[in-house]
């Protein structure tokens, strides 16, 4: 087995590189380390690495936050000899929560020996989403978080709070249609937010898709209809805890489906978040790709 650690030096506290080098020092295994220098770089680097080592069994470990995981996993798609995993060192680490949380992935030797399971991905155009595609209220929050990250070099809980406050002022009633397997879930074309999910969590703490499984070949689709700011405050806790699909008091505002294909239609200039990356597109389709990757998960 050949190992590649792709490290985002700006993620979290910035200790990932030191952690990895300390853990692999003296090991007999073939370990390569690549430290990224800019956003987006890891996709092409991983794709080229996989092609160069097509005759070997390769495990690639993304060391960073959800953005680093997204890039590394996008680069590894299509290579049957490759398995992927992650050493979570970002601010949110949403993806790994569906598997029990960050601590499960903190031991690097365990990551190197972990058994693999199949991982579905969401395909949006030529890109893949590992975790969640979300828009409406959530996108305004994500844009604010990215602005804070640009200023400070990393995200934090204060950035999430700022994003929520801004969205409360500007993004309570958004225009878009969500068509899940041919059904328009909001004929009015108005909603607070929508999540199209493979994983369970978004925004660092919100359990947006509590029934999601990453290997069932299904997309979790949830739309929240427009509500007042007062009611928003009332539903925030059950939504954060992932109770919104079963909460009787929210039945009138929650639209939930499982689907294999989701089409989104929106006005020009529409923005959505793909694993935290903001993309502007007024018409896009999300499809599930079952078993797209071999994911190594420590026991």
Pairing of strands 30-35, 2-7: parallel
Residues of the chain with CATH 3.40.50.10330: 2-116
Is pLDDT at 158 greater than 90 in this prediction?
Answer: no
Is residue 90 very low, low, confident or very high in pLDDT (cuts 50, 70, 90)?
confident
Residues of the chain with CATH 2.60.200.40: 132-290
Q: Please state which architecture CATH assigns to domain 132-290.
A: Sandwich (2.60)
φ and ψ of 96, to 5 deg: -75, -10
Q: What is the pLDDT of residues 218-252, one digit of tens each?
A: 999 999 999 999 999 999 999 999 999 999 999 99
Reported pTM:
0.92
Q: How many CA atoms lie less than 13 Å away from 241 in the CB half-sphere?
A: 8
Q: What is the pLDDT of residues 100-142, one digit of tens each?
A: 999 999 999 999 999 999 999 999 999 999 999 999 998 998 8
Is pLDDT at 156 greater than 70 in this prediction?
Answer: no
pLDDT value of position 62: 97
From 50, 38, 100, 39, select the one nearest 75 (Cα to Cα). 50
Task: Reply yes or no on domain 2-116 having CATH 3.40.50.10330.
Answer: yes
DSSP, residue by residue, 224-291: E----HHHHHHHHHHHHTT-TTT-GGGTTTEEEEEESEEEEE--TT-EEEETTEEEE-SEEEEEEEEE
């Amino acid at each position: 087995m050949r190992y590649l650690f792709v490290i985002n030096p700006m993620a979290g506290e910035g200790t990932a590189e030191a952690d990895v080098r300390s853990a692999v020092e003296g090991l007999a295994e073939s370990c390569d380390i690549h430290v990224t220098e800019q956003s987006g770089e890891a996709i092409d680097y991983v794709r080229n690495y996989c092609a160069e080592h097509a005759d070997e069994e390769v495990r690639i470990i993304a060391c960073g936050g959800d953005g680093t995981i997204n890039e590394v996993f996008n680069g590894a798609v299509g290579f049957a000899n490759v398995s992927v995993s992650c050493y979570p060192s970002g601010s949110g680490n949403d993806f790994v929560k569906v598997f029990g949380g960050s601590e499960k992935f903190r031991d690097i030797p365990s990551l190197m020996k972990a058994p693999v399971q199949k991982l579905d991905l969401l395909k949006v155009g030529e890109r893949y989403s590992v975790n969640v595609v979300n828009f409406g209220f959530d996108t305004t929050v994500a844009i604010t978080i990215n602005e804070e990250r640009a200023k400070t070099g990393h995200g934090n809980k204060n950035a999430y709070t700022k994003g929520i406050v801004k969205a409360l002022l500007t993004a309570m009633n958004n225009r878009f249609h969500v068509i899940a397997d041919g059904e328009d879930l909001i004929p009015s074309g108005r909603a607070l937010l929508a999540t199209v999910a493979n994983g369970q969590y978004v925004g660092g703490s919100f359990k947006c898709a509590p029934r999601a499984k990453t290997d069932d070949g299904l997309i979790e689709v949830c739309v929240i209809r427009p509500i007042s700011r007062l009611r928003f405050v009332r539903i925030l806790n059950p939504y954060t805890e992932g109770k919104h699909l079963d909460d009787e008091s929210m039945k009138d505002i929650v639209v939930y489906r499982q689907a294999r294909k989701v089409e989104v239609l929106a006005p020009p200039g529409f923005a959505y978040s793909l694993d935290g990356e903001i993309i502007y597109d007024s018409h896009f389709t999300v499809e599930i790709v079952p078993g797209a990757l071999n994911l190594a998960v420590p026991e």
